[in-house]
Chains A and B, each alone.
Chain A
Amino acid sequence: MTDRRATLLVARREASERLRQRSFQISTGVTLLIVAAVAVLGGVLGGGGPDRYQVGAHGAEAAAIAAAAQAAAPAFDARLEVRRYRDEASARAAVRDEEVDAVVLASGTVLMLDEPPTELERALQAGGRQVRAGRALRSEGLSAPEARRALDPPPLPVRALDSEGDEDERRGVAYTASLLLYLQLIVYGLWVATGVVEEKSSRVVEVLLATVRPRALLAGKVLGIGLLGLGQLLLIGVVGLGLALASGAIELDGTTLGTLAVVLVWFLFGYALYASLYATGGVLVSRQEDVQSSTTPLTVMLVVAYLLAFPTLDDPASGLARIASLVPFTAPIVMPTRLALGEASVPEAALSLALLAASVALIVPFAARIYDRAVLRMGKPVKLREAWRAAR
């Protein structure tokens, strides 16, 4: 049996045993609920998405007005759907039965159950103006296309000095990305540490080491837990984005999908870095009670990285944000935040990833050696330096 096969066996156990844990299933469910709530609430409270209305029409001109109103609606942040009715009675009935929000009658009267929402009324009025003005223009001798051109000049171009896109939306996505990365790195990092200690404290490690090389055992653990973390992140990302899209809190475009991809890539490298370090923190102690203190520096580092996301959200181009997005220990959270805000250049992102990958390449052999030397040391915590020097 090769090391690779052993690593895969270990990884499969790590992932499948955790998937089976009730606590994991519940926490994933709760996270999904929270993400869903945020995504849906964002749509409802933020008013980010257009409201939808059903509009009925009876008669040819009414239908033309409704169609014009439908075309004009996006300008008022509304969306209309139009239905035609054969006679006035059924059109009136449709309003009463709340089948539609409003009907335009052949007479030109707009009928509603109660006070109309402003954007709906504005859209209908705009439609009415356009149809009636068009008729007036045509009676003055203009052709239909001429009348349309006169009534529908190209909109004035609007350019904001401050930003290009919908800033709030981007900030929302960027913040969510930083929070998810922080949680995912700290939770899965700690899982690696406690998983290592579990094997030491239950002494099963000695049984395992009689058949698996320490490095393969460590690699399998990090890989298994990491794949689980990646899968969970992907699930949360897809569900969250899906719901946010459905509720209209955000719009799907290249940026949003790009952000999801960025989050996954930086998670992968960030996890490789932190998981190796957390494994080191775990292997130096023999009891679960000691994990907390032996991993404190790492947890502090992650909290700092997370806290740096806030000034980054305020000013993603500041010197602090730039540096933090390059330093490998903070980059896994800060760089995706900047990228989600659309405020980091491609070379910057590439440099950040290269530095991160280089530090992973340095840390992994270090962690493997410490693990190798300390994994059978039971009892009081082992000092890092001592573990480094010890013989196997």
Chain B
Amino acid sequence: MLELDDLARRYGDTVALDGLSMAIPAGEVVGFVGPNGAGKTTAMRIALGVLEPDRGEVRWRDQPVTRDVQRGFGYMPEERGLYPKMRVDRHLRYLAALHGRPPADAKRAAGRWIERLGLGERSEQRVEELSLGNQQRVQLAAALAHDPEVLILDEPFSGLDPIGAEVMSEVLFERAKAGAAVVFSSHQLELVERICERVSIVDDGRIVASGRVEELRTARSEPRLRVELEGASDGWLDGVPGARRAGGDGRAVLVELHGGADDQQLLDAARRAGRVVSFAPARPTLAELFREVVGR
């Protein structure tokens, strides 16, 4: 388990992190979401040792991390970066060697990832000669070339085409299955919802919601139902105690039930008003949760 504990960091007068804590269990993929400027990149940089926190601690397997431990982490920064003039194979070998792999090992690992990510024919080309999509693949290979136990990726899906995104999520799962702790940030909430078992939502430098995606979705205090009616007049909901319209589209209405209101009463009211086409609990999407906890 990778733990970030009570991290704080300022840049001059700007507070980037204000007591952020989160945990990334080994063997899981955790999504890290939050508005721009919430502190995601700063938190990741501190986890990697690129930045020093003003306060707080990073732990891996219950031990405070040392530089040597952090050296074993894999990182994909938001701003992609590779030497434009270096050849793909040499570049990957170099980075694997910097991460402490012996030369023969580095060579094998570079070759393996080049094959795995479909870069076989490009391995002797300079990075700058590759398409952006292929550069992204090299960037991913660079993060993976030393088989890290911890994988930290800042916006790994941005700029990927659907096939690239598919490859990326496959690889993240693979690594998690192999026992790595994987965390990535993203603004694509549907994608996060699809891929991640866990999610942490950050705002203003602290975590505002965190846990299994399923639990977060069901743990809302006010249940909602999506009711689709035919031939109902607009005011049909008014007489139902505790029910409040929370949105809707076309014939469907999203109803929020307050104060332990009875969903059967709602159903009765609906049947009186018209023909019920569908009546189902509406669990919020991650995007809705996000809007709610971030509050804007």
Contact = CB atoms under 8 A, between A and B. Distances in A.
Interface of A: 1, 6, 9-10, 13, 17, 21, 198-199, 202-213, 376, 378, 391-392
3 closest Cβ pairs, A-B complex:
A203-B81, A204-B81, A210-B75
Contact of A207 (B67, B75, B84): B75
A372 to B, nearest CB: 11
Contacts of B50: 206, 209-210, 376
A207 B82 contact: yes
Nearest to B77: A206
19 contacts: A6-B98, A9-B94, A9-B97, A10-B98, A17-B83, A17-B85, A199-B83, A203-B77, A203-B80, A204-B82, A204-B83, A205-B81, A207-B95, A210-B71, A210-B75, A211-B99, A212-B98, A376-B51, A391-B52
B interface secondary structure, majority: loop
A207 B74 CA distance: 9
Nearest to B146: A211
Interface string B112-151: 0000000000000000000000000000001000000000
B98 A202 contact: no
A210 B52 contact: no
Nearest to A6: B98
B51 A207 contact: no
Nearest to B49: A210
Given A202-B82, A202-B84, A204-B83, A392 B51 contact: yes
Nearest to A207: B81
Contacts of A205: 81
Interface string B57-84: 0000000000110110101010111111
B142 A213 contact: no
Nearest to A198: B83
A249 to B, nearest CB: 39
Given A9-B94, A392-B51, A392-B52, A202 B83 contact: yes
A374 B29 CA distance: 33
Contacts of B51: 376, 392
A203 B75 CA distance: 13
A238 B84 CA distance: 35
A211 B71 CA distance: 5
A392 B94 CA distance: 26
B80 A13 contact: no
Nearest to B94: A13
Contacts of B54: 391
A205 B51 CA distance: 13
B83 A210 contact: no
A94 B142 CA distance: 74
B98 to A, nearest CB: 5
Interface string B135-173: 000000010000000000000000000000000000000
Given A1-B68, A13-B94, A210 B81 contact: no
B82 A211 contact: no
B79 A206 contact: yes
B80 A210 contact: no
B94 A207 contact: no
Contacts of B73: 210
A48 B18 CA distance: 77
Given A199-B81, A204-B83, 19 more contacts: A1-B68, A1-B99, A1-B100, A21-B85, A203-B80, A204-B82, A205-B81, A206-B45, A206-B50, A206-B79, A207-B77, A207-B95, A207-B142, A209-B50, A210-B50, A210-B75, A210-B77, A211-B98, A376-B51
B86 interface: yes
A210 B70 contact: yes
Contacts of B227: none
Contacts of B80: 203
B48 interface: yes
Nearest to A208: B98
A113 to B, nearest CB: 60
